[in-house]
Homo-oligomer: A and B are copies of this chain.
Amino acid sequence: MHTLDKAINLIPISPGRFRGETSSDYENTVGPFGGITNALLLRAIEMRDDCFGEPLALTVNFAGPIAPGEFEIQASPTRNNRSTQHWSAHLLQREEVQATATAVFVKRRDSWSSNKAPALEGVPTPESLPRADTEGRPPWFSRYDMRFVDGGMEVMAGGEQSESTTRMWVRDDPPRPLTYTALASICDSFFPRVFLRLGRVMPIGTVSMTTYFHADGAQLQEHGDRHLFGVARGVNFRNGYYDEAAELWSHSGDLLATSHQIVYFRP
């Protein structure tokens, strides 16, 4: 079993209720890597018998600290339409809500399509770039094969930067066929924008994160286990919060997901 599948493995315990356990593989500096919390809440919804279609939107609010050990997730439908399902989910530990999620699942249909940005133009192949150094990084960092095109962690050594954009190739390590849960997790795999901007590490924590899934199942399958191309940038830094906007592109130039998060920081 892949480390990701182990980390998001959930046991049904009653209708819509699941039990899971935190994974030391995806530990962050404090608590679990946020991407895994994203993936877990999405997974709980997917596992419900009455869930149909594919995810379109997922918002996760990080409400409290998740401690190592067991947790439960309750996933409930909020509204069912013909081709759209609205969901709500809660991650509970010590009888307290530690994370909440809302999600929308849809039955996709063909339509006129366009994704404009030529993100991959002039970008070196992942094979031509060195893998990011995982030395001194929290465990989850080693679960991803990251290859920085620019704005990598080594830039931090140069102190304060005017830019907060990182472009990188990224995939699960070991490689794993892309699924919505894997994509939900990868969307959170950019190191914090404020580290890049200020050239140093500091306490941070995602408060809320929203992911839009643009890919249909066929596109995920076509992408397989190859590297995704990711772009992330910080837009605004103020009063102890900043936001990150991220795009995840397939190897062949399809925009698979966009995500946004607002993050607490203490400089």
Contacts and interface: CB of A to CB of B under 8 A. Distances in A.
A98 B210 CA distance: 20
Interface in A10-36: none
B88 A100 contact: yes
A161 to B, nearest CB: 11
Contact of A236 (B98, B112, B214): B214
A-B interface, 5 closest residue pairs, ranked by CB to CB distance from nearest: A63-B79, A113-B238, A57-B208, A108-B239, A111-B240
A93 to B, nearest CB: 12
A247 interface: yes
A267 B59 contact: no
Interface in A49-68: 56-57, 59, 61, 63-64
Interface residues of A, number: 57
Contacts of A86: 61, 63, 97, 100
A258 interface: yes
A156 interface: no
Contacts of A212: 208, 243, 260, 262
Contacts of A210: 59, 208, 210, 260
B115 A237 contact: yes
A153 interface: no
A220 interface: no
A106 interface: yes
22 contacts: A56-B207, A57-B262, A61-B102, A64-B81, A79-B97, A88-B100, A108-B240, A110-B239, A110-B240, A111-B239, A111-B265, A112-B237, A114-B238, A115-B237, A210-B260, A212-B260, A212-B262, A214-B238, A235-B255, A236-B258, A243-B258, A245-B245
